[in-house]
Each structure stands twice: as C-alpha cells, then as structure tokens.
Structure 1
Amino acid sequence: MHISARADYAVRAMLTLADAGDGAPVSVQRLAEEQDLPRKFLEAILGDLRRASLVTSRMGAMGGYVLARPAADICVGEVIRAVDGPLAEVRGERPQATSYEGAAANLRTLWVAVRASVRSVLDETTLADVVSGDLPQSVRQALELPGAWENR
C-alpha cells in the first residue's frame, strides 16, 4: 500500500489536534511547526478535513482547528479517505468492480481481500489509540508477524 504525503500529513495533523486535548483551537502555524509540514499544503489538507466534518475551524486571533469529534471516535481510515479517497483502488476502480479473464479470473477476490486487510487496521485504529500507543490487539498482532518490520 502506498501512503501519500497528503495522507501522512493529514494523519499527523489530526494526531496533533488529538494530543492538544483541551479543546482549544490549534493554529495552522503551530500544526505546521510541530509536525514540520509545509503550511500551504497543510491548509489545503485541513480544508479537505473540514469538508469531511473531521475538524472544525474557528476564526480570529485565537482561532485555529479542533477535532469535530472526540479522538476516540475518529479512525485513521476516515482521515485517509477524506484526503485521498478510497483506501484501495485498482486502476481507479473499486476492487469489487474489476473483472478478469482466464488465469486472472480470481484476482478480483485477492484485491477485495487486500482492501479488507487494510480496512481492518485503519478502520479499527482511532486517533486516540495512536496518540496513547495503545493500539488494537489485531494491530499489535500484525506487528509481531515474521518479517513485519523488514523491507521486501
């Protein structure tokens, strides 16, 4: 799976908002500085997150962004979908919409399984889980699989 810079930046910004915790708005400048993100790119990402109802913005000198819901109610998958669209696509199509002939006839099933695996990690892990480091059991088990930390 390819995780775009846009998705990475969005998740990092959301984690910073989750960690703020006190409900006070966090400025774009602070988000950019704390996570070493390009400000203009971050502003566009925050616009996507606002349109997806994941953050709200407050105007004024003390303005900034806050999570629209508690961090425990926002999964990482939602954040990625808000900025990048579906978690898994095959040539721009949803995996179940693909069709193949001959020796590749069963490939669609594999692509759907890949999407289900990605969902099982990203949709079961909330921002609060990542901030606390208390990841879901299924994620911790995946980290213990042989080769999980190795490049292939």
Structure 2
Amino acid sequence: MSVGNAIYLDDLHVGQTFTSGEFALDAQQIIDFARQFDPQPFHLDDAAAQGTFFKGLAASGWHTAAITMRLLTSCLPIGSGVIGAGGDIQWPRPTRPNDTLHVICKILQIQPSNSKPDRGMVTTECLTLNQHDEVCQRMVSKLMVMRRPQ
C-alpha cells in the first residue's frame, strides 16, 4: 500500500463497499496449509476426505481466513493497517480445490472514540465468495482505524 491511497477513519462511510481482486486456490496449496496448520484428513487427502462430512478435499477454514486477510489488505488499504478488535466468523460452505476467491467488504458502522480522538472503531461485514458467487466465509469484525494524521 502506498501512502497516497491509504484510507483513514475520516474517509469511510456506512454502506461503503470494497471489492478485492481474485485468489486462485489449488489442491496442493490446501494440502500444504493443512500439513502445517490444520492436519485433518479432509484437508490433507481427497480420497480420505470422500468419507467425511465434506465428501472431498476442503480447505481449512483458517486457510480461507488467511486468504481473506491477504485480499483485504489489498482492497481495504487502511493507513494504520487492518487491526482487528474482535468479531464473528462463519464458513457456510467449504472452499475447494480450483476455487477462485474474492472478497466484498461493507462498512456497517463507524464509531469515533470519545476517549481517544485520533481513532475509532469500524464494524465491517466481509464476504469471501468463490467463482460462482457462493459465500465460503462470512466475517463480521470490528477494526480499530486511525484518523488521518494532521
């Protein structure tokens, strides 16, 4: 992110949306992430995953969350960084090999701080969608966002 396109609290408004670019995911990426961070059969091996709830290889929800974060940092260039302050995450459908993901993030609420006038809290809803516009992840989160430096 360059300084010229940085977004601050003063630049945001309720209802504003940000749309990311795309991220293509393949089976090997799913397996590699799972080996390191979430080594469960349905994330590691397609044949083993066939007999599970997922009925095939599925990315870890945390892998989908990590991809979401990568996409968010490019489409929501907050000057102070994307600093989370809590939230809720849901994975209504699995992310699969050969899915191409993108994120649509909507500003739901903006609350300037009363005690710290240089910042505020912003509530967002970020949907991570696959190439069929099916929601793979829904995340509602609060972000701490700084005001533009004077």
Report TM bin, short chain. under 0.3
TM-score, normalised with respect to structure 1: 0.28
Which structure is richer in relative contact order (CA contacts within 8 A, separation 6 or more)? Answer: 2
Larger fraction in helix: 1
